[in-house]
C-alpha cells in the first residue's frame, strides 16, 4: 500500500524550478566521487522462518525434510543452515477481544481456551515447558492476565477472569502486544500472576500487569505465535493497520486470527486477513458454537509447524526489504510462511513503507544512507546505461528549448477497491505551458537542456569515462550523482512542534545524457526525486522508466 499523507501535504506543491535546482549545492558524504574506494556489504546473516505445510485438505503434512524445501531470496537460491521438524520452545500469546460487542460469546470462548491450553501444551516426547502461554484480553486497553506460563492450569485460572469491557482498540492492542509480549526475556519458575500495580511499558496507551514469568528458555529463541480472537471492530485506536504490519514484520510472529462476526458496523475483516496472511498465519471464521473446534485446530497447527534458518550473504543494500518465496518438490502440498525480511531493521519496502519504524531524525536518515559501497554501485549502474533514441526523441529534445518537462509517477487506486495490486503509470507535463506545479509527495523526474552555455557531448568532467563515438543514435550517462536530501519546504526535525509527517526527505539521482553519435549537440540534464525513499538500486529503475516514457528511449546493449 502506498503511504498516505495528511490533507495539508497532499495539497502542497513546489515549482518545477525548485525541483530542478533544490540540491545543486553538494551534500557532504552523499555522492561517492571517483577517489572513494567503496566497501561492499558481504556479511552473512542468519534468517529464521517458522512455516507450516498443508495438503489439499488443509491438513498439516508431516515428514518434511530440508531436501523438500527451496528458498528464493530476490532471485537468489539460499542454503538451509538449520531445520526443525516440529516447533519446540514455542511462545503463544492469546489476544482476546472482550469489548462490549463480544460479551455474548465469552462463555463459549472460555471453554474453547481451556481445550486450547491443554492441547497446545501436550507434549509426549520432550521435556515440559516447551510452550509458554500468555493471555491478553482487550477492549479499549489491553491487560496482561498471565505472562508466559508453562502450566495450563495457571492459564485456565486466568481465563476465568475475563470480563467484558467497553469500546474496541483493536489496532492499538495488537500493536502493544507485538511490542511488549514477545520481548527478549529470561523466564524461570512457574508462578501465578500477581496483583502487581498497573505498569505501562508501551509507547501507546495500553495497560499491562505482567505476572512473574515461568519456566523455559530465553524468549528470543522461541517460535512466536499470536492467536487473535476478534470481530475486527475498531473504534478507539490511535494507530493504523500499517503500524501493525511494520511491527509484525520486524518481530517474526505468526498470527492466527479467529474472526467472529458480531455484526459490528466498524469491522474490517480485509485488513485483519491481510496482516494474518502476511505473517504466514491463517484466518478462521467462526460462530460461537465453532470456537472449540477452531481453537483445537490452531493448537494442532502450532505444534506441527517447522522452523528453519538460512544464510543470506552478499546483500549490498541491507536497508531494503527482501521478498522471499518458499517452494517444495512435494506434490499436492502448500507452504505458508512470511513473505520477506529486513537484513537490517528498520528497512524500506518498494512502496516506500518502512518495516521496523520510520527514521526519527535527520541524522538517522543520513546514517541509513551513508553506505559508500551502495552509492558507488548505483553510480556505476547509472554510468553503464546506454539508451537508444528515435526521431521522436529528437523532436522532444528540440522542444526542451521552450522549457523543461516533468515525468511524474502516478499510482492507480483501483487496487484498493478490487483487492488487486496497485499499478502505476507515468504522466508527462510541459513546464513551458504554465503547468509548473508538482505535488510535494510526487515521485518525479525533471528533464531539461543543460543550462551551461558551453555544454557539449565532447565536454567530459573529471571522473566521466571517455566518450566513444557510436554509429547508432545512443545516449550515454555522464556525471551521475546519488544523494539524500531534505525536501523543499520541509521543517527541520529540531524545530519545536514539528511532527513525523513534517520530517520529509528524498533520495535523488542527478545525471546528464550525452549523445554518443553526435546527432544531438547539447547535453540533457535529468533529476529524479523520490520523497520518503532511502537510497536504493530502485532509483536506477525509476529513472530508466521515466526516460522511457518521457524521452521515448529504450535500454540498449550496443556499444
CA nearest neighbour of 23 among 528, 555, 542, 516: 528
pLDDT for position 556: 81
Where are the strands (E) in 43-152, listed by range?
45-55, 69-73, 76-78, 80-84, 90-97, 131-138, 146-149
Task: Return the SS3 of 539.
Answer: helix
> Left (φ > 0), alpha (ψ -120 to 50) or beta: where does 490 sit?
beta
478-519, pLDDT tens digit by residue? 999 999 988 665 555 444 444 444 457 999 999 999 998 888
Task: Return the SS3 of 320.
Answer: strand
333-346, pLDDT tens digit by residue? 999 988 899 898 88
CA nearest neighbour of 331 among 68, 528, 31, 29: 68
- For residue 388, what are the β-bridge partners? 474, 554
Q: Residue by residue, what is the 3-state secondary structure of 471-484?
A: CCCEEEEEEEEEEE
Question: Residue 441, Cα to own-chain centre: how many angstroms?
Answer: 19
pLDDT bucket at 396, cuts 50 / 70 / 90: very high
Contact 228/95 with Cβ under 8 angstroms?
yes
Q: Measured between alpha carbons, how far is 506 from 532 in angstroms, rounded to an integer?
A: 5
Q: Measured between alpha carbons, how far is 173 from 97 in angstroms, rounded to an integer?
A: 9
pLDDT for position 278: 85
CA nearest neighbour of 473 among 542, 380, 554, 547: 554
Q: Measured between alpha carbons, how far is 122 from 35 in angstroms, rounded to an integer?
A: 63
Backbone phi, psi, residue 514, to 5°: -115, 140
Lowest mean pLDDT of 11-15, 20-24, 59-63, 539-543, name the range: 11-15
Go through the domains of the chain in sequence order and give each one's CATH number.
Answer: 7-41+371-555 (no CATH), 45-84+310-348 (no CATH), 90-303 (3.40.50.410)
Percentage of the chain with pLDDT > 90?
45
* Whether pTM exceeds 0.75: no
Sheet with 45-55: list strands edge to edge.
80-84, 306-312, 45-55, 333-336
| Average pLDDT value for the chain | 79
- Neighbour count for residue 474 (Cβ, 10 Å): 22
Cell numbers that stand for 41 in this block:
556489504
CB environment 390-418: b (16+ within 10 A), e (fewer): eeebbebbeebeebbbbbbbeeeeeeeee
Q: Measured between alpha carbons, how far is 505 from 87 in angstroms, rounded to an integer?
A: 43
Radius of gyration, alpha carbons of the chain = 28
Please tell me the chain's helix, strand, coil percentages from 3-state DSSP, rounded to the nearest 5. 25, 30, 45
How far from 264 is each of 267, 456, 467, CA to CA, in Å? 6, 68, 68
Helices (H), 267-413: 269-278, 291-303, 362-368, 372-383, 391-399
Residue 28 has pLDDT above 80, yes or no: no
Nearest-5° Cα angle at 545, 475 to 483: 80
pLDDT for position 557: 66
Q: Measured between alpha carbons, how far is 274 from 1 in angstroms, rounded to an integer?
A: 11
Cell numbers that stand for 137 in this block:
484480553
Count, in order, helices (H) and strands (E) of the chain: 13, 26
Nearest-5° Cα angle at 161, 156 to 290: 60
Helices (H), 304-357: none
Contact 154/172 with Cβ under 8 angstroms?
no
Cell numbers that stand for 36 in this block:
572513494
Lowest mean pLDDT of 110-119, 261-270, 410-419, name the range: 410-419
Q: Measured between alpha carbons, how far is 5 from 358 in angstroms, rounded to an integer?
A: 14
CA torsion sign for 209, 215, 219, 224 is negative
Contact 140/236 with Cβ under 8 angstroms?
yes
295-354, pLDDT tens digit by residue? 999 998 888 889 899 999 889 899 999 999 999 989 999 999 888 998 988 899 888 888
Q: How far apart are the first and last CA of the chain?
A: 40
179-230, pLDDT tens digit by residue? 889 876 544 333 333 333 333 333 333 333 333 333 444 444 678 999 999 9
Cell numbers that stand for 313 in this block:
550473504
CA nearest neighbour of 208 among 249, 186, 180: 180
Amino acid at each position: 500500500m502506498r503511504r498516505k499523507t495528511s490533507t495539508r501535504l497532499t495539497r502542497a506543491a513546489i515549482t518545477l524550478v525548485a525541483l530542478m535546482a533544490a540540491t545543486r549545492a553538494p551534500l557532504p558524504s552523499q555522492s561517492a566521487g571517483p577517489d572513494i574506494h567503496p566497501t561492499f556489504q558481504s556479511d552473512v546473516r542468519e534468517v529464521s522462518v517458522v512455516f507450516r505445510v498443508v495438503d489439499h485438505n488443509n491438513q498439516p503434512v508431516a515428514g518434511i525434510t530440508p531436501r523438500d524445501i527451496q528458498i528464493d531470496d530476490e532471485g537468489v537460491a539460499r542454503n538451509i543452515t538449520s531445520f526443525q521438524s516440529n516447533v519446540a520452545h514455542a511462545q503463544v500469546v492469546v489476544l482476546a477481544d472482550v469489548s462490549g460487542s463480544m460479551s455474548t460469546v465469552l462463555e463459549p470462548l472460555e471453554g474453547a481456551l481451556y481445550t486450547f491450553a491443554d492441547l497446545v501444551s501436550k507434549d509426549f516426547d520432550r521435556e515440559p515447558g516447551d510452550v509458554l502461554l500468555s493471555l491478553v484480553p482487550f477492549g479499549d486497553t489491553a491487560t496482561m492476565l498471565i505472562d508466559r506460563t508453562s502450566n495450563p492450569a495457571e492459564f485456565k485460572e486466568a481465563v476465568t477472569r475475563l470480563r467484558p469491557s467497553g469500546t474496541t482498540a483493536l489496532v492499538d492492542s495488537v500493536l502493544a502486544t507485538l511490542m511488549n509480549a514477545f520481548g527478549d526475556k529470561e523466564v524461570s519458575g512457574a508462578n501465578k500472576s500477581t496483583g502487581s500495580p498497573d505498569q505501562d511499558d508501551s509507547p501507546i496507551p495500553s495497560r499491562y500487569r505482567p505476572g512473574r514469568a515461568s519456566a523455559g528458555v530465553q524468549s528470543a529463541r522461541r517460535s512466536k505465535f499470536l492467536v487473535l480472537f476478534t470481530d475486527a471492530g475498531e473504534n478507539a485506536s490511535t494507530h493504523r493497520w500499517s503500524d501493525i504490519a511494520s511491527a509484525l514484520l520486524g518481530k517474526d510472529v505468526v498470527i492466527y486470527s479467529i474472526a467472529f462476526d458480531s455484526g459490528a458496523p466498524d469491522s474490517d475483516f480485509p485488513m485483519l486477513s491481510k496482516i494474518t496472511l502476511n505473517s504466514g498465519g491463517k484466518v478462521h471464521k467462526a460462530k460461537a458454537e465453532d470456537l472449540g473446534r477452531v481453537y483445537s485446530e490452531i493448537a494442532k497447527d502450532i505444534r506441527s509447524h517447522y522452523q528453519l534458518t538460512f544464510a543470506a550473504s552478499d546483500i549490498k543494500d541491507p536497508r531494503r526489504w527482501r521478498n522471499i518465496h518458499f517452494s517444495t518438490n512435494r506434490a499436492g502440498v502448500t507452504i505458508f510462511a512470511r513473505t520477506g525480511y529486513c537484513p537490517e531493521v528498520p528497512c524500506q519496502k518498494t512502496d516506500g513503507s518502512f518495516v521496523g519504524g520510520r527514521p526519527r531524525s535527520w541524522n538517522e536518515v543520513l546514517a541509513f544512507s551513508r553506505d559508500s559501497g551502495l552509492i558507488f554501485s548505483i553510480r556505476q549502474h547509472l554510468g553503464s546505461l546506454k539508451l537508444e533514441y528515435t526521431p521522436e526523441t529528437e523532436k522532444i529534445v528540440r522542444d526542451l528549448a521552450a522549457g523543461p518537462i516533468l515525468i511524474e509517477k502516478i499510482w492507480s487506486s483501483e487496487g484498493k477497491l478490487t483487492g488487486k495490486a496497485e499499478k502505476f503509470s507515468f504522466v508527462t507535463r510541459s513546464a513551458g505551458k504554465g503547468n509548473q506545479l508538482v505535488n510535494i509527495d510526487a515521485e518525479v523526474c525533471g528533464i531539461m537542456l543543460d543550462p551551461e552555455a558551453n555544454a557539449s557531448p565532447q565536454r567530459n568532467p573529471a571522473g566521466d569515462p571517455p566518450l566513444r563515438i557510436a554509429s547508432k543514435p545512443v545516449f550515454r550517462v555522464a556525471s551521475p550523482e546519488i544523494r539524500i536530501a531534505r525536501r523543499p519546504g520541509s521543517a527541520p526535525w529540531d524545530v519545536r512542534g514539528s511532527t513525523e509527517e513534517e520530517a520529509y526527505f528524498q533520495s535523488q539521482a542527478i545525471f546528464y545524457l550525452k549523445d554518443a553519435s553526435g546527432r544531438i549537440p547539447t547535453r540533457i540534464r535529468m533529476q529524479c526525486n523520490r520523497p520518503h525513499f532511502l537510497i536504493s538500486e530502485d532509483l536506477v529503475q525509476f529513472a530508466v522508466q521515466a526516460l522511457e516514457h518521457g524521452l521515448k528511449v529504450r535500454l540498449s546493449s550496443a556499444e
